[in-house]
Structure 1
Amino acid sequence: MASESSVWNTCNYSRDVTFFYNLVGKKISEEWSTQDFVVIGLGLTVCLIVVLANLMVMAAILMNRRFHFPIYYLLGNMAAADLFAGIAYVNLMLNTGPWTRMLTKEQWYIRGALIDISLTASVANLLAVAVERHQTIITMQLHSNMTKRRVVLLIVCIWVTAIIMGLVPSTFWNCECDLDDCSTVAPLYSRRFLIFWAVLNLLTFFIMVAMYARIFIYVRYQSRATSEHTSEIRHNQTVVNLMKTISMVLGAFVICWTPGLMTLLLDGLLGKASHANSFEKYCLVIAECNSLVNPIIYSLRDNEMRRTFKWILCCLCRKGADQRRQPSVKINSPLSEETLDFVQKSEDRALRKPQDSHDKDGWTEPRV
């Protein structure tokens, strides 16, 4: 009991956020500068665009039955993670600068946990997409046979894991009982946790890149082996185009998040000697931009997604223009009949015969 009491007394639970910032030499500005206002104004504007853009992606996937496949549900969950990241950045912007010294430790931990949760959800979701693509591409299928129940269960597991990882620093893996282990980037976090966090995510990046490289090699080999069959060539090309879109999403994520993870790794290994505070804000801005990149990739790569975006925007404009000809909307697809006929004919020519029973949930070939 005595040893337990002595350990408890060495912990600094009564100290406030300012104490830990002063301990590691991270300055909290006392007054607002013009630069602070510009950074926060631009940051909030970008966050607003991120939230709206990813809401549109989620709405497009839910409303268009051509996207009702496991891969698109996972991409929709990726948009949800990006939307959550936008909300996390808004909270960060509204609790930074001189406002930092006003935060309680609980509020500070929540601010960091939101960022951690969004990153974990994105990484776990990309890993799930990689596994799903590996299972389907090896059998040269466009979509997996995973049931909706399993997809929902997988998405729930992703978010549960993300929440648990976000709560780890605030519950037990911090430096309140070991001041020598405090991080300079996140003063209440343990440097050992930052090392674990950065290495885990960087290793996951490497695994996903290796998986996609193997998938591309396999698809290329299969394409050459079936070069004499026109229908199979078109199907393979559709598979490759979808893979390119997903690979661009993965590539953008790795490029945007690697600088921040390397900063955390250096801070964990070197502490104050890493001088991580001098460039952490730039890494955070790059990471924030990733949440805006994915909707752009979807709209540029997928004609069907872009068509659905236009339909959603037109509907929003019509609501404000007082055009309500139909009292109730009962449609199976968010596309007009003219566009739907055009898309259907394109599907029939590109992938399947008209008699195919699966044509009711057809697939529009993404843009190369």
Structure 2
Amino acid sequence: MAHSHKSNPSLQVTADHQIKMAEAPIEQPGYGEVLLHIKCTGICGSDIHFWKSGRIGPLIVESDCILGHEASGVVLKLGEGVKDLAVGDRVAVEPGMPCDNCWLCREGRYNLCEDVKFSGVWPHHGTLQRFKVHAAKWLHKIPDDVSFAEGALLEPLSVVLHGIRRAGLTLGRGAVICGAGPIGLIALLSSRASGAHPLVITDLEPNRLAFAKKLVPECETYQVQRDLSSEDNAKKIRKLFGESEYGCPETVLECTGVESSIVTAAFAVRRGGTVMVIGVGRPVVNNIPFMHMSLGEINLKFINRYTDTWPAGIAAVKGKLMDLKPLVSHVFALEKAVDAMHICADLSQGSIKVQIVDEVDINPEDVE
């Protein structure tokens, strides 16, 4: 039986780099909005960045802000004008709400909108709370056989899908994935589903590489050697593809944002190939091998979030093109969200994807 819950516990980050549980107001949906019961939110590296560093590039935490943007939930209440959703619908949350008015939005490149309201990026509160108001336009119904955990994983999958789309992975052409964190592992699964082959994934941590090998047994793994230069690591990666330059990887999906890894990617990719930087790094990277990339006509590309990826992601998960569930290594109740953040921030804990769930039953009538 559903119960009445008038409390809205939330995980908030402060301007002085603290995290805390705090009671948040329960807002009412306006025109075109719905009130959601957030059932599951995954912790992203950006949430840890906002906690530990207080910023990502120009995005700065200036006061208390509810974190979280990888989410799924249930529709509890409809605002005026909402026609495509009903109370009780299970939905995945697309966390960015662009302005819909600028030339980038008009071009369909709404991920580049400079006036976007992105959940969990100050001053816009995120999904690590029980109740959240969100624009109905940016919610996607998920089938009954797609779990809330998978619904929340559609956000990092969307990051990868956007990167793969811009990189242009090719059936039967080799690819390297740099970094075996959650994004790198999803990139590995997605690359296999795309038909790219052979596949190599790199990381510093042998345990993560072992996990990647278990996830995709046909991939090759390469443990990055700290005592070698980026160029020498790249040579060893290339050897995994054979001796021919033609057989070298056509695409590198760089999922760390670390400068040395980007440089390794530039030397590992074949001439005429593409390095797609999916990872988020420092504001300025100085040591890109400019002339090597210029003489080899190597494409260096970037992504910012995603555009129109949720329908494809839902189809891929429902169609079992990939199984994202093994990525979830830790699950915490909403009230234990601070503990979840500490586990996620401590590399010695070996977490892959940490998710926060709210198992409380909510009666929609109680939020009228």
Under a length normalisation based on structure 1, what TM-score does the superposition of the two structures give?
A: 0.25
From the CA coordinates, give the structure whose radius of gyration is larger. 1
Higher strand share: 2
Higher helix share: 1
Under a length normalisation based on structure 2, what TM-score does the superposition of the two structures give?
A: 0.25
